[in-house]
Amino acid sequence: MAINKPVRITTPLSNVDVQKLKVGMPVLISGVLYSARDSAHKRLVELLDKGKKLPIDVKGQIIYYMGPSPPPPGRPIGSAGPTTSYRMDPYAPRLMAIGLKGMIGKGTRSDEVKAAIKKYKSVYFAAIGGAGALISKCIIKCDVVAYDDLGPEAIRRLEVRELPAVVAGDMYGGDIYEIGVKRYRKK
């Protein structure tokens, strides 16, 4: 996989935007993202189960699997790299079903999630795990919008500028973790 020039994308995403994104493509994401991790996902899906309204509208949006470190004085947010995505796998298809268009995290996804990405025309991006300082610099604004009691796990509305990531799972069923590793594995 050669590195191409990164594709610039801006949220919210439409079907047309998502169709253009293919596995291995580097992207620079700008616009609004929502951060949510394990506990927030659990609460969102519990609301869906009860037929209640969610505290955020996920339609066309991207959820970033991330729980930041506290903001040092003068900064909107602390370190802000991705957390491991598979822990959100049980919840992600439910959110895609109501219009979520993208997820940013790190690591492999379940077959159910990959099937949902195809079915609902969504996309999964991988950001660099452990590059929290670099990513922090791309976040220009951060507000807690729900579940403040969860501390680092609260839902935050983030305004980002050119957050670097790579398409790790596309609506055509492509998975960077399968393709990339196969290519370099010995025996």
Binding mask 99-138 for another protein (x = CB under 8 A): -------xxx-----------------x-xxxxxxx-xx-
CA 175/CA 168 separation, integer angstroms: 6
Q: By CB under 6 A, is residue 129 in contact with ligand SF4? A: yes
Phi and psi angles of residue 74, each rounded to the nearest 5 degrees, phi first: 85, 0
Phi and psi angles of residue 119, each rounded to the nearest 5 degrees, phi first: -60, -45
Task: Give helix then strand counts, H and E, for the chain.
Answer: 6, 7
Residue of this chain nearest to ligand SF4 (CB atom): 130
Binding mask 59-98 for ligand SF4 (x = CB under 6 A): ----------------------x-----------------
Instruction: Identify any residues that bridge with 8 across adjacent strands, giving them in sequence order.
Output: 28
- The answer to whether residues 116 and 95 touch, using CB atoms and an 8 Å cutoff, is no
Supply the minimum distance, in Å, between the C-beta of residue 98 and another protein. 25
- Reported as half-sphere exposure (CB side, CA atoms, 13 A), residue 7 has a value of 15
Instruction: Please calculate the CA angle 56-27-69 and round it to the nearest 5 degrees.
Output: 55
Within 14-73, the residues that bind another protein by CB under 8 A are 24, 26, 38-39, 66-72
Shorter beta-carbon distance to ligand SF4: residue 31 or 164: 164
CA 148/CA 145 separation, integer angstroms: 8
Among ligand SF4, another protein, none, residue 187 binds (CB under 5-8 Å by kind): another protein
Q: By CB under 6 A, is residue 130 in contact with ligand SF4? A: yes
Catalytic positions: 41
CA 41/CA 113 separation, integer angstroms: 14
Residues making contact with another protein (CB under 8 A): 1-3, 24, 26, 38-39, 66-72, 75, 78-81, 83-84, 86, 106-108, 126, 128-134, 136-137, 150-153, 164, 166, 168, 176-177, 179-187
Residues making contact with ligand SF4 (CB under 6 A): 81, 129-130
